[in-house]
Amino acid sequence: MKISKKKHLEMILEKVPNHPNPKVDLEQYSTPATIAADLVWNAYGLGDIDKMSVLDLGCGTGIFAIASSLMGARCSLGVDIDDESIALAKITQNSIFDEHDIDNANANFIVGDINSFNSISDLLNESNFIKINNNETSLNRFDTLIQNPPFGSQEKGKRHADRKFMDFAVNSADVIYSFHMKNTEEFVIDYYRDLGAEVTHKLVYKFPIPKIYDFHSDDSRDVKVIVLRVENFKDNIDD
């Protein structure tokens, strides 16, 4: 079953739970269903989802991997450092896929720390993860990567934490959808360009930040984020 309306996709994604135990050092904020649905719907329209391999990097509870499978991805993989989130992503995937008659082997979720690796190929080889689904699928590179990395806004030592995600992304996929604070747009565009990639499209959202950590003073506030669609013109995979 492939979803034919964006609103229907959003309604299904509302069943994806938030992080079960948000960890401030990981800057875990769940992407709302309305934003996830809009992003994946636009990516689908640009030919980046249907029949493609999709990597959801820093996947949390798996909303982008699940959305991609619902929209016809050949296979999707979610990777996150947090084992609690991965466990919940697997449970949610099984429930949603069973309800909508999607092969559960279409999506997988694994625990992985990208700080220890340069690319998804390195991470999966180290994990002895040899197949994404029942069909042999190349682990060297994905067609599309979606990431909502930590912004590094809370601890000085972790500022620019999203740079590692950007480095990893260009080594792992041909097309990248990357979330960033709107006020860092020019820096991020230049950073991707230095990595041999070019921004082709932009989406701007008001991202709601709920009061989930001790340092939050407001019940909820919106921050302006930008999602950049990046085409990777440089072959960053070592021969």
Q: What is the pLDDT of residues 6-47, one digit of tens each?
A: 999 999 999 999 887 766 665 667 899 999 999 999 999 999
* Strand 142-147 relative to strand 220-232, pairing: unpaired
> Is 60 part of any domain?
yes
Who wins on pLDDT, 152 or 89?
89
What percent of the chain lies above the pLDDT cut of 90?
62
CA angle, residues 83, 84, 90, in degrees to nearest 5: 85
The alpha carbon of residue 38 and the mean position of all alpha carbons in its chain are separated, in whole angstroms, by 14
- Position 139 scores a pLDDT of 65
Q: Which CATH number belongs to the domain containing residue 180 in this structure?
A: 3.40.50.150
Q: Tell me what pLDDT residue 49 has.
A: 98
Range of the domain at 228: 6-232
Tell which wins on pLDDT, 51 or 105: 51
On whether residue 1 sits in a domain, the answer given is no
Domain total of the chain: 1
Summarize pLDDT for 58-69 with one digit per residue, the tens: 999 999 999 999
- Give the mean model confidence (pLDDT) for residues 71-96: 94
pLDDT tens-digit readout, 209-225: 765 545 445 566 788 99
Q: Which residues of 68-95 are buried (b: 16+ CB within 10 A; e: fewer)?
A: bbbbbbbbbbbbbbbebbbebbbebbee
Q: Tokens 């299904």: give the residue.
A: 12
Predicted confidence (pLDDT) per residue in 180-211, tens digit: 999 999 999 999 999 999 999 999 999 887 65
Mean of all residue pLDDT scores within the chain: 85
- What span, in angstroms and rounded, lies between the C-alpha atoms of 145 and 151? 18
Residue 166 lies in a domain: yes
Q: pTM of the predicted model, to two decimals? A: 0.88
Judging by DSSP bridges, how do beta strands 220-232 and 107-111 pair with one another? unpaired
Does the pLDDT of residue 151 top 80, yes or no?
no
